[in-house]
Amino acid sequence: MTVQRRVISKNPESSAIEKKIKRGNAQRQASSWRGNWSMLLLLIGVSGLVSLVYFTWTDDFTHTLVSRGEILTQPRVFTVDCSEDYKKHKLFPGCTPTKCGRAISDSVVTLEEAQKLRRLAERGLSLAGSDGGASILDLHSGALSMGKQFVNIYRYFKNEIRDVFTEEDFELYKDVRGRIQKVIAETFGLDSKQMYLTKPTFFSCINSTSAKTTHDEYWHPHIDKETYGSFDYTSLLYLSDYGLEFGGGRFVFMDPNSNRTVEPRAGRVSFFSSGSENLHHVEKVVWGTRYAITVSFTCDPDYAIDDPSLP
């Protein structure tokens, strides 16, 4: 898919972001593509089928890293060169990314668990919801989209919130968070005890309703480490199926000269190092509803947050 740029009026903030994106692309293009093409040619020389295991080629320079119809029996890992972003922050040996990349796994969370978490999200989001196409529910801070703003569900609904959520809901959420943290640590060679949950970590519900505020404009390209300085590793747990329950809404890594997409599948976990080596965006949802959880991790204990608990 050819990258389509939005035409917007320039302001200092957007210009700065564009410069960072261009600089990150230039840094990666010089090294990663030369190595990737050499490795691809080598693999094809060994086996003409090997390349098909990792991604599907299309005519518009979009590669599918994993399709919705596939079921991965082990994590599918793609390494990329780390950006310079992490050097601008305090370094934490054993945790700060030195091995960067992106990975997808279908064996961390079961379909049944994903369905339970989706029902949790649906119950919480039914209390309000955005006027635009993107709503969030943050069990940690209590933030919930309501109209064109946010409310704190714990303050707004008080004791009634126990009629919406149960202790079992929160235990499942905590358990799943722990398993995601473990697979990230194993994949990137980290000590999981040096990783900390950080904010924002939240449920998202996206549909095709037109955006009403900037909070609804989820589709813009961005770099997590630039947006949230505390982020070192980002993960998403999908709670609905691309092509069956919604159209559009694929997760897109924007690499030099191409895009690489992940097609959501309920129970699928996608995770990656948070620097500019993983510039990305989400396609606009064109029909149906896309549910997911963003679970974020930092190496800096000063930015750690606790697992949520019912008041």
> Token pair of 226, please?
């630039």
CA dihedral 157, 173, 285, 227 (to 10 degrees): 90
Structure tokens at 104: 């997808």
CA atoms within 13 Å, Cβ hemisphere of 251: 29
Which residue in the list 177, 250, 260, 290 is annotated as catalytic?
A: 290
Q: What distance in Å separates the CA atoms of residue 172 and residue 21, rounded to the nearest whole number?
A: 37
* DSSP 8-class letter at 171: H
112/33 Cα distance (integer angstroms): 39
Say whether 290 is catalytic: yes
Q: Are 179 and 114 in contact (CB under 8 A)?
A: no
Distance of alpha carbon 252 from alpha carbon 250, whole angstroms: 6
269 forms bridges with which residues in the sheet?
Answer: 105, 237
Task: Return the SS3 of 177.
Answer: helix
Cβ–Cβ under 8 Å, residues 117 and 184: no
Neighbours of 9 (CB within 10 A): 5
Most distant pair of Cα atoms in the chain: their distance: 64
C-alpha distances in Å from residue 171, one per residue of 37, 125, 137, 192: 45, 19, 17, 19
> Which strands form 280-282's sheet, in the order they lie side by side?
56-57, 62-66, 258-262, 251-255, 280-282
Nearest to 237 by CA among 136, 101, 110: 110
Query: Which residues belong to the active site?
Result: 290
